[in-house]
Amino acid sequence: MNDEPIIPDPPHPGYAAASRRGTPFATADGRALFLRPIRPDDVDALRRGFARLTPEQVRLRVFHRMNDLSPEVAERLCNVDQAVGAAFVATDADGEIRGEARMYVEPAAERAEFALVVDPALVGIGVGHALMLRLLAEARRRGLSELWGSVLTENATMLDFASRLGAEREAIPAEPDLVRVRFDLRDGRRED
Protein backbone atom coordinates (compact mmCIF):
# COMPACT_ATOMS: atom_id res chain seq x y z
CA MET A 1 0.00 0.00 0.00
CA ASN A 2 1.11 3.54 -0.79
CA ASP A 3 1.92 5.55 2.36
CA GLU A 4 2.22 8.87 0.50
CA PRO A 5 0.27 11.60 2.35
CA ILE A 6 -2.91 12.60 0.57
CA ILE A 7 -2.44 16.23 1.52
CA PRO A 8 0.79 17.56 -0.03
CA ASP A 9 3.29 19.55 2.02
CA PRO A 10 2.41 23.24 2.15
CA PRO A 11 4.71 25.47 0.10
CA HIS A 12 7.91 26.48 1.85
CA PRO A 13 7.19 29.59 3.98
CA GLY A 14 9.84 31.52 2.07
CA TYR A 15 8.21 30.77 -1.26
CA ALA A 16 5.73 33.67 -1.33
CA ALA A 17 8.38 36.16 -0.24
CA ALA A 18 10.82 34.86 -2.86
CA SER A 19 8.33 35.04 -5.71
CA ARG A 20 7.27 38.51 -4.58
CA ARG A 21 10.90 39.57 -4.76
CA GLY A 22 11.24 38.30 -8.33
CA THR A 23 13.60 36.09 -10.26
CA PRO A 24 17.17 36.35 -9.02
CA PHE A 25 19.97 37.09 -11.44
CA ALA A 26 23.63 37.94 -11.07
CA THR A 27 25.33 40.93 -12.63
CA ALA A 28 28.77 40.66 -14.23
CA ASP A 29 30.37 42.03 -11.06
CA GLY A 30 28.58 39.49 -8.86
CA ARG A 31 25.70 41.51 -7.41
CA ALA A 32 22.49 39.61 -6.73
CA LEU A 33 19.52 41.43 -8.25
CA PHE A 34 15.89 40.47 -8.88
CA LEU A 35 13.69 40.82 -11.90
CA ARG A 36 9.90 41.16 -11.60
CA PRO A 37 6.85 42.97 -12.99
CA ILE A 38 6.35 46.46 -11.62
CA ARG A 39 3.71 46.72 -8.86
CA PRO A 40 1.32 49.39 -7.58
CA ASP A 41 3.34 49.64 -4.35
CA ASP A 42 6.51 50.58 -6.28
CA VAL A 43 5.57 54.27 -6.51
CA ASP A 44 8.03 55.56 -3.90
CA ALA A 45 10.84 53.24 -5.04
CA LEU A 46 10.29 54.29 -8.66
CA ARG A 47 10.50 57.97 -7.69
CA ARG A 48 13.73 57.33 -5.74
CA GLY A 49 15.13 55.42 -8.73
CA PHE A 50 14.24 58.30 -11.05
CA ALA A 51 15.95 60.76 -8.70
CA ARG A 52 19.20 58.77 -9.03
CA LEU A 53 19.26 59.06 -12.84
CA THR A 54 21.56 61.65 -14.35
CA PRO A 55 19.94 64.50 -16.33
CA GLU A 56 21.60 63.04 -19.42
CA GLN A 57 20.05 59.61 -18.83
CA VAL A 58 16.64 61.21 -18.38
CA ARG A 59 17.07 63.06 -21.69
CA LEU A 60 18.12 59.86 -23.47
CA ARG A 61 15.11 58.04 -22.03
CA VAL A 62 12.30 60.61 -22.46
CA PHE A 63 13.93 62.98 -25.01
CA HIS A 64 13.47 66.06 -22.88
CA ARG A 65 14.44 67.45 -19.50
CA MET A 66 12.43 66.30 -16.53
CA ASN A 67 13.47 67.21 -13.02
CA ASP A 68 11.44 64.75 -11.05
CA LEU A 69 8.82 62.07 -11.35
CA SER A 70 5.59 63.34 -9.83
CA PRO A 71 3.60 61.00 -7.57
CA GLU A 72 0.78 61.07 -10.14
CA VAL A 73 2.98 60.00 -13.03
CA ALA A 74 4.76 57.39 -10.89
CA GLU A 75 1.39 56.03 -9.84
CA ARG A 76 0.38 55.65 -13.47
CA LEU A 77 3.69 53.99 -14.38
CA CYS A 78 3.30 51.48 -11.57
CA ASN A 79 -0.26 50.53 -12.49
CA VAL A 80 0.19 49.07 -15.94
CA ASP A 81 -2.91 48.03 -17.83
CA GLN A 82 -1.80 44.54 -18.79
CA ALA A 83 -4.11 44.62 -21.81
CA VAL A 84 -1.92 47.22 -23.46
CA GLY A 85 1.42 47.05 -21.77
CA ALA A 86 3.94 45.48 -19.43
CA ALA A 87 6.71 46.83 -17.25
CA PHE A 88 9.52 45.11 -15.36
CA VAL A 89 11.96 46.29 -12.74
CA ALA A 90 15.35 45.09 -11.59
CA THR A 91 15.67 45.53 -7.85
CA ASP A 92 18.53 45.13 -5.41
CA ALA A 93 18.54 43.26 -2.09
CA ASP A 94 17.05 46.36 -0.39
CA GLY A 95 14.18 46.50 -2.87
CA GLU A 96 15.52 49.62 -4.57
CA ILE A 97 14.71 49.85 -8.27
CA ARG A 98 17.94 49.70 -10.29
CA GLY A 99 16.45 49.40 -13.75
CA GLU A 100 13.08 49.63 -15.43
CA ALA A 101 11.82 48.50 -18.84
CA ARG A 102 8.38 48.78 -20.36
CA MET A 103 6.43 48.28 -23.51
CA TYR A 104 3.13 49.53 -24.87
CA VAL A 105 1.24 47.51 -27.43
CA GLU A 106 -0.02 49.58 -30.33
CA PRO A 107 -3.79 49.37 -30.66
CA ALA A 108 -4.87 47.01 -33.42
CA ALA A 109 -1.29 46.08 -34.19
CA GLU A 110 0.98 43.19 -33.42
CA ARG A 111 3.73 45.58 -32.41
CA ALA A 112 4.81 47.16 -29.16
CA GLU A 113 7.03 50.12 -28.39
CA PHE A 114 9.63 49.70 -25.65
CA ALA A 115 12.01 51.81 -23.57
CA LEU A 116 14.32 51.13 -20.66
CA VAL A 117 16.72 52.81 -18.27
CA VAL A 118 19.28 51.55 -15.77
CA ASP A 119 20.59 53.18 -12.57
CA PRO A 120 23.80 55.06 -13.47
CA ALA A 121 25.73 53.25 -10.73
CA LEU A 122 24.93 49.89 -12.34
CA VAL A 123 25.33 50.43 -16.09
CA GLY A 124 27.53 48.05 -18.09
CA ILE A 125 27.05 45.00 -15.87
CA GLY A 126 24.14 43.32 -17.59
CA VAL A 127 21.07 44.89 -15.93
CA GLY A 128 19.77 46.32 -19.22
CA HIS A 129 20.49 43.02 -20.93
CA ALA A 130 18.41 41.10 -18.36
CA LEU A 131 15.53 43.60 -18.59
CA MET A 132 15.56 43.55 -22.37
CA LEU A 133 15.49 39.74 -22.52
CA ARG A 134 12.51 39.80 -20.14
CA LEU A 135 10.65 42.28 -22.34
CA LEU A 136 11.41 40.28 -25.48
CA ALA A 137 10.15 37.12 -23.80
CA GLU A 138 6.95 38.90 -22.77
CA ALA A 139 6.43 40.27 -26.27
CA ARG A 140 6.85 36.78 -27.71
CA ARG A 141 4.54 35.30 -25.09
CA ARG A 142 1.87 37.73 -26.29
CA GLY A 143 2.40 36.68 -29.88
CA LEU A 144 3.68 40.08 -31.00
CA SER A 145 5.66 40.23 -34.20
CA GLU A 146 7.76 43.27 -33.42
CA LEU A 147 9.20 45.21 -30.50
CA TRP A 148 10.51 48.63 -31.46
CA GLY A 149 11.96 51.66 -29.79
CA SER A 150 12.84 55.23 -30.70
CA VAL A 151 16.43 56.04 -29.84
CA LEU A 152 18.23 59.37 -30.17
CA THR A 153 20.73 59.14 -33.03
CA GLU A 154 23.47 60.27 -30.66
CA ASN A 155 22.73 57.42 -28.19
CA ALA A 156 25.47 55.10 -29.41
CA THR A 157 25.35 53.03 -26.20
CA MET A 158 21.72 52.10 -26.72
CA LEU A 159 22.10 51.59 -30.48
CA ASP A 160 25.05 49.22 -29.95
CA PHE A 161 23.27 47.46 -27.08
CA ALA A 162 20.16 46.84 -29.24
CA SER A 163 22.21 45.71 -32.25
CA ARG A 164 24.11 43.17 -30.19
CA LEU A 165 20.77 41.78 -29.01
CA GLY A 166 19.70 41.34 -32.63
CA ALA A 167 17.78 44.56 -33.40
CA GLU A 168 17.82 46.22 -36.79
CA ARG A 169 18.05 49.98 -37.23
CA GLU A 170 15.79 52.10 -39.37
CA ALA A 171 16.05 55.78 -40.14
CA ILE A 172 12.94 57.84 -39.50
CA PRO A 173 12.83 60.16 -42.53
CA ALA A 174 10.96 63.02 -40.86
CA GLU A 175 13.04 62.79 -37.66
CA PRO A 176 16.79 62.87 -38.29
CA ASP A 177 17.52 62.99 -34.56
CA LEU A 178 15.85 59.63 -33.99
CA VAL A 179 16.56 56.05 -35.05
CA ARG A 180 14.06 53.23 -34.79
CA VAL A 181 15.44 49.96 -33.46
CA ARG A 182 13.36 46.91 -34.31
CA PHE A 183 13.38 43.41 -32.91
CA ASP A 184 11.71 41.09 -35.38
CA LEU A 185 10.04 38.45 -33.22
CA ARG A 186 8.91 36.22 -36.06
CA ASP A 187 12.31 34.98 -37.13
CA GLY A 188 12.81 32.47 -34.35
CA ARG A 189 16.14 34.02 -33.35
CA ARG A 190 17.27 33.57 -29.77
CA GLU A 191 18.56 36.62 -27.89
CA ASP A 192 20.54 34.83 -25.20
Ligand X SMILES: CC(C)(COP(=O)(O)OP(=O)(O)OC[C@H]1O[C@@H](n2cnc3c(N)ncnc32)[C@H](O)[C@@H]1OP(=O)(O)O)[C@@H](O)C(=O)NCCC(=O)NCCS
Residues that bind ligand X (CB under 6 A): 27-28, 57, 60-61, 115-118, 123-129, 149, 151, 155, 157-158, 160-161, 164
DSSP letter string over 136-149?
HHHHHHTT-SEEEE
Phi-psi region of 188 (alpha: psi -120 to 50; beta: other; left: phi over 0): left
Residue placing its CB nearer to ligand X in the complex, 61 or 134 = 61
Output the smallest distance, CB 189 to ligand X, in A. Answer: 15
DSSP state for residue 121 in the 8-state scheme:
G
Output the smallest distance, CB 29 to ligand X, in A. Answer: 8
155: nearest Cα among 127, 192, 125, 128:
128
Q: How many CA atoms lie within 13 A of 182 on its CB side?
A: 14
CB 113 within 8 A of CB 107: no
Output the smallest distance, CB 48 to ligand X, in A. Answer: 16
The values of phi and psi at residue 31, to 5°, are -80, 145
SS3 59: helix
Output the smallest distance, CB 26 to ligand X, in A. Answer: 7
Output the smallest distance, CB 117 to ligand X, in A. Answer: 4
Residue placing its CB nearer to ligand X in the complex, 46 or 127 = 127
